[in-house]
Amino acid sequence: MSESWLKNAVFYEIYPQSFYSPEGEGVGTLQGIIDKLDYVKDLGCDAIWLNPIYDSPFKDAGYDVRDYKKVASRYGSNDDAKKLFEEAHKRGMHILLDLVPGHTSEEHEWFKQSSKPETNEYSGRYIWTDSWFKGIPGRPYIGGETERNGTYLLNFFKCQPALNYGWTDPKESWQSSMDSEEAKATREAIKDVCFFWLEMGCDGFRVDMADSLVKGDDTWHQTAAIWKEMIGDIKAKFPEAKFVSEWCCPYIAVNEAGFDMDFFLDHGGNGYNFLVRDYETEGGDRSYFRADSGVSCEKFLKEFVPAYEAVKDDGYFSLITGNHDTTRISYGLSDRERKLAISFILTLPTVPFIYYGDEIGMKYLELNSFEGGYTRTGSRTPMQWDDAVLTAGREGKLYLPCDPAADAPTVESETKIPDSLYSTIKSLLKLRHSEDSLSADAPFEVLYSREDSPLLVYRRGDLKIAVNPSNSDALADVDLGNVRPVWSVGEGKTENGTLKLRPQTFVIFK
């Protein structure tokens, strides 16, 4: 793996419609993001993942793209996007756009043309059967809504017809192979979209549903082959372009498909879910960072360590504090528990992502679905900059309502508190950027972990890091050598080869 700016990067995910509206229009804009770049940089984040900004009917909050090459008017214009890239680069920051390659909106011009009964260059751009009376067994499809004699496959919502990248093992006359002309045309069209935005100045892409391209590909190997070709062609023109996949399988995404990073996502029952979102376990929340759970970190480590070892020479694993699809990390966790959990995420050998508002402890709100958000809507509420934003949100003047609680956190309030969650994250990111031992490719080793203990100790380069998320003191015979604490939440020390941590403590020793 060649040297990359990713090794020191910390990303900040921005949901554009909820981030900042400089004129108080109710919906966030690209100019609003430009206005807040210094805030993001000052926090310690030097890269941004920007959720979709393309023209869309917003039936799935922008993940139903109507025009890949046009910024949605609610956010501004293509010129505003270009200005955003330029202003980010002036600050030494990078911007990844959200690429949605598996489907478009049903209002996209490609689909309108593909829906016509006459054969044209877009007829094979989507997956159609050869009869209005023929469905697609075992898969979601729509019929009876177009003039074309056929039904079409969906990639997710009804508004998202699946683009055609072919089938692993075509069995029907209407199923294309991966090497068919129509499948190749789809790949070329998506590469063209990438070229368009890279030429404008973006630095790469987070790829939505990256594993969904080739149909019938249960092992993902064929989809990986498609990505390897596409990413290779794109990097031949833009060698510095970076790609992070929504895949949650780095063995495939990084090692085979050629992505620079892959997310460890919040899938029910997996290791990441177990850290902070283990809500559905019998007997109550047993998340590792719940102080009263008393569980070991072994479940996470058994998934994370092999995945990290598998990809560390080719790319990176990425951990998130949360994103637009998850409940916020504040849900079910106290302020102290969040401090420990986010400190853990920011000190592992990964490229971390902070979801906007998580740094001030914004809450998940129980809201009705809006723009296809459903249960995700409560994690997409307006960034709480100050009391004026809270008031506007509570009065229904913003994209979504704001936290109605009297003690709702704001940037204005949290930045003034020395030991707030915001201040904790900012100080840790300052340390991360000053210590090579906390870069994504610095050495990592688990020094202490037991099935019967919540205590975890690990090494990052020259640093030794210990965490005790429980309500009880933790002691272990772990000789860390001649070290002293350089950063901490809580109290911890070493004496005569014994490590002692007070309850709910996270310590970095050097």
Which CATH number describes the domain made up of 443-509? 2.60.40.1180
How many Å apart are CA 463 and CA 483, to the nearest integer?
Answer: 9
Architecture of the domain whose range is 103-162? Alpha-Beta Complex (3.90)
Q: Which tokens in the block code for residue 473?
A: 């003191």
Which CATH number describes the domain made up of 5-101+183-437? 3.20.20.80
The pLDDT of residue 3 is: 61
The pLDDT of residue 7 is: 95
Question: Where, residue-wise, is CATH 3.20.20.80 in the chain?
Answer: 5-101+183-437
Beta strand residue intervals within 186-334, DSSP E: 204-207, 242-245, 261-263, 316-318
Question: Where, residue-wise, is CATH 3.90.400.10 in the chain?
Answer: 103-162
Q: Which residues contact 26 (CB under 8 A, 6 or more apart)?
A: 392, 397, 398, 399
Strand partners for 207:
99, 245
Question: Where, residue-wise, is CATH 2.60.40.1180 in the chain?
Answer: 443-509
Q: Which tokens in the block code for residue 275?
A: 């850290």
Q: Which residues contact 468 (CB under 8 A, 6 or more apart)?
A: 454, 455, 474, 490, 492, 501, 502, 503, 504, 505, 506
How many Å apart are CA 28 and CA 19, to the nearest integer?
Answer: 5
489 pLDDT above the threshold of 60: yes
Per-residue DSSP letter, 437: G
Range 392-419 average pLDDT: 96
One-letter amino acid of 110: W
If pLDDT is split at 50, 70 and 90, which confidence band does 278 have?
confident
Q: Which H helix or E strand runs over 421? A: helix 421-434
pLDDT in tens, 331-365: 989 999 999 999 999 999 999 999 999 999 999 99
pLDDT in tens, 416-460: 999 999 999 999 999 999 999 999 999 999 999 999 999 999 999
Q: Which residues contact 236 (CB under 8 A, 6 or more apart)?
A: none
How many Å apart are CA 264 and CA 344, to the nearest integer?
Answer: 14
Closest to 206 measured CA to CA, from 380, 82, 328, 323: 323
